[in-house]
A and B are shown apart, each in its own frame.
Chain A
Amino acid sequence: MNMDAKTDQLINKAIAALPYRRPRAGFSARVMAEIAAAQAAAPWNGYILKATGLTVAGWAMTLGVIGAKLVYSNLPEIAAFLIQPGAAAQGLKLLAAYAALFGVKLAGGLSFTADLAAAAAGFPGGYEVAAAAVICAAAVAALSKRPAGVRI
């Protein structure tokens, strides 16, 4: 065996023989206490997540109910419209027109929201939540209102 390989071996052996050091007394107890504290905090995170999920589901359900109510209240008009000759083509045209109108309104709304978000960039997270709530409320209000004289 050459000298270099022997030196390598001696270095490896010296490293292998290094003693393990023990952390200060109570280390294990401190770690277990941290774990217990983290676990105690964990249910709160769960509750917050569940509450957020329920709120979102609630909003979605409200919007769904209002949309369904809108269709239900216009059902006679929709049915009368659908039995007319060429109703399908007209219906598609009408839907396209509504989609175009919605697109324009959406673009305007997004632009306004972007401006609002840029203006509120320096505010804390709570303002974002408040802004989201206002936007959702506006969406619900817009959908629940049926402008006078408008018929499908």
Chain B
Amino acid sequence: MMAETDIELVRRCLGGDNAAFEGILELYQDRIYSFALRLLRDEQAAEDAAQETFLKAFKNLASYNPAYPFASWLFRIAHNASMDALRAGGKTVSMDTEDFSDLPDRTAGVAESVAAAIDSERIEALLASLPPLYSEALLLAYREDMGPAEIGRVLGVPEGTVKARLFRGREMIKTKLAADATV
């Protein structure tokens, strides 16, 4: 039997079938939890943010516009929940000026062998060392396979800002890789 798509499950939920939401949970719980965990770096906080995400999604399901992917709508709620959790934890997440003073003008070259040796553990640590605004843009682009326009909708920023964050995030990673290689 073919698995139901998220849109079909949403339709069933809107029709009053709450059990269909379990299907949505099954489809998205790992993705949403992993996203929150990589931003919050705390299992309990990530689980709370994921739970908050699904509760808000259920309550506001009627406001979802099927013209856009369901995933980006859900990730937008997860982004807001995670940012709220970060703020509640006393972390600064707003970057009104997008100031990148800690980034050199030109990133030092990274030896191919060093870049080729990046494994899951290493990239996980590198992403964790980035400010959340960059790590979430990178995660949405490459782990969730979203385009800049879709990421813009998730994060509530213009496409140009998304591209800048992706570029800066990658540059930060390369800087750290180059620094590690020289140690």
Nearest CB to that of B59 among chain A residues?
A38
Segment at the interface with B among A28-36, A49-57, A76-84, A101-109? A28-36
The majority secondary structure among interface residues of chain A is: helix
A16 close to chain B: CB less than 8 A: yes
B120 touches A10 (CB 8 A): no
CA A39 to CA B34, docked complex, whole Å:
27
Q: Are A31 and B120 in contact (CB under 8 A)?
A: no
Q: Are A35 and B58 in contact (CB under 8 A)?
A: yes
The interface on chain A, measured as residues whose beta carbon lies within 8 A of the other chain's beta carbons, has a size of 30
Bound complex: CA of A28 vs CA of B18, how far in Å?
13
Contact (A21, B145) CB under 8 Å given A28-B22, A31-B54: no
Instruction: Please encode chain B, from 152 to 183, with 1 for each CB lying within 8 Å of some chain A CB and 0 for all others.
Output: 00000000000000000010011001000000
B17-44 at interface with A (beta carbon < 8 Å): 18, 21-22, 25-26, 29-31, 33-34, 37-38, 43
Give every chain B residue within 8 A of A3 (Cβ-Cβ): 109-110, 112
Q: In the complex the two chains form, is B110's CB within 8 Å of A21's CB?
A: no
Q: Tell me, in angstroms, the Cα distance from A18 to B30 when the chains sit together.
A: 12
B6 within 8 A of A: no
Distance in angstroms between the alpha carbons of A128 and B30 in the assembled complex: 47
User: How many residue pairs, one in A and one in B, have C-beta atoms under 8 Å apart?
Assistant: 101
B78 beta carbon closer than 8 Å to chain A: no
Q: Per a CB cutoff under 8 Å, which of A22, A30, A39 touches B51? A: A30
Q: Does B118 contact A (CB under 8 A)?
A: yes
A15 touches B25 (CB 8 A): no
Bound: A101/B112 CA distance, A? 88
Known interface pairs A3-B109, A15-B123; A32-B29 also in contact (CB < 8 Å):
no
6 other contacts beyond A4-B107, A16-B142, A16-B145, with CB at 8 A cut-off?
A3-B109, A7-B110, A18-B124, A20-B33, A23-B46, A38-B58
